[in-house]
Amino acid sequence: MDENILSSIEEGINEEYNKLIEYRSNEINKYEKKKAANRRYANKSRLKKIRKYNKIENDNIYLKKDNISLKSELEKLKKKIERKDRQITLLKKKK
């Protein structure tokens, strides 16, 4: 009789132990999934920031190139205006 009681208690303890192990493994799996999801999200947001920064850098480069080309065009126009002014003054002097 004592053996039957002890064996039933052992079975009950083993069932509870197995339930706890299963619960713990489920919790660990949930945690791992959340961790992986957070890692994926962090990678995506990091990539977005990098792309945004690169876009800003590229835009700045294009703006610098445009600015340089505009400056060179402005210099060309100034030279043309100076030439025209010289021609006009020479013509006025001749008259």
Alpha-carbon gap, residue 64 to 70, rounded angstroms: 10
* Prediction pTM value: 0.40
Confidence at residue 61, expressed as pLDDT on a 0 to 100 scale: 74
What are 19-78's pLDDT values in tens digits?
888 888 888 888 888 888 888 888 888 888 888 888 777 777 777 777 777 888 888 888
Query: Per-domain residue ranges for the chain?
Result: 1-95
DSSP per-residue letters across 14-36? HHHHHHHHHHHHHHHHHHHHHHH
